[in-house]
């Protein structure tokens, strides 16, 4: 049966984790994956005692990131409210460099400079018109790239270098390719066997 696009999209939707702490841990792992997809070096500090969850960048140029997530809609139904505090207290200045806020139902990330949410306990995301204060930070991964001094051109050259050095795929990608690969291997083995037999002196 051929799956239509709508069916595929529905299958990709992730079941929302109800436990807040576990959902927060999951959001951090999603952030690390997304940052990696953007070509950003990312790592997780040991433990959870620091005022940030992840660091992005390289030695000599790191950016500290606090990861938050939300599933809570605003009363108006247009947008989501996201907590930007810890233990009901606003973060102190210098606690981190960027807030990475994940609107889970929309699968959207907001990369917001810390100075933009300083002193606030919550912000509204996914809003429109006059309330759309943070929309310019939607999927703004370039801010982290700039903070870590990772240029687009360097990333592109690195990607090309990796692709050029990438060995041929060890395993065929689909059924037909596997059959062709098996046939090719069998044929080579047969040819090799005939060649060895032809080289042997008579009587052996």
87 DSSP β-pair partners: none
Residue 50 burial (CB < 10 Å; 0-12/13-18/19+)?
A: middle
Q: Which of 5-9, 12-16, 136-140, 141-145 is predicted least confidently?
A: 5-9
Q: Could you say which DSSP state residue 169 is in?
A: P
Task: Round to whole Å and give the CA distance between 132 and 114.
Answer: 17
| 76-112 confidence digits (pLDDT tens) | 878 999 999 998 899 999 999 999 999 999 999 999 9
Task: Round to whole Å and give the CA distance between 87 and 119.
Answer: 14
| 166-184 confidence digits (pLDDT tens) | 444 444 555 555 556 555 6
């Amino acid at each position: 049966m051929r799956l239509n696009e709508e069916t595929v999209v529905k299958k990709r939707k992730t079941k929302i984790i109800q436990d807040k702490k576990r959902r927060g841990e999951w959001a951090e792992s999603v952030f690390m994956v997304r940052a990696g997809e953007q070509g950003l070096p990312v790592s997780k500090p040991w433990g959870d005692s620091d005022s940030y969850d992840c660091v992005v960048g390289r030695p000599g140029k790191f950016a500290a990131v606090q990861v938050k997530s939300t599933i809570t809609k605003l009363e108006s139904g247009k947008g989501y409210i996201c907590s930007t505090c810890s233990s009901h207290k606003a973060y102190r200045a210098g606690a981190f460099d960027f807030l990475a806020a994940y609107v889970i139902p929309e699968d959207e990330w907001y990369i917001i400079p810390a100075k933009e949410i300083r002193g606030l306990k919550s912000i509204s995301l996914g809003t429109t018109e006059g309330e759309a204060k943070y929309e310019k930070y939607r999927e703004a991964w370039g801010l982290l790239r700039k903070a870590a001094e990772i240029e687009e051109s360097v990333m592109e050259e690195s990607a090309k270098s990796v692709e050029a050095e990438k060995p041929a795929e060890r395993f065929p990608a689909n059924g037909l390719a596997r059959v062709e690969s098996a046939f090719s291997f069998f044929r080579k083995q047969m040819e090799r066997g005939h060649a060895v037999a032809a080289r042997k002196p008579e009587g052996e």
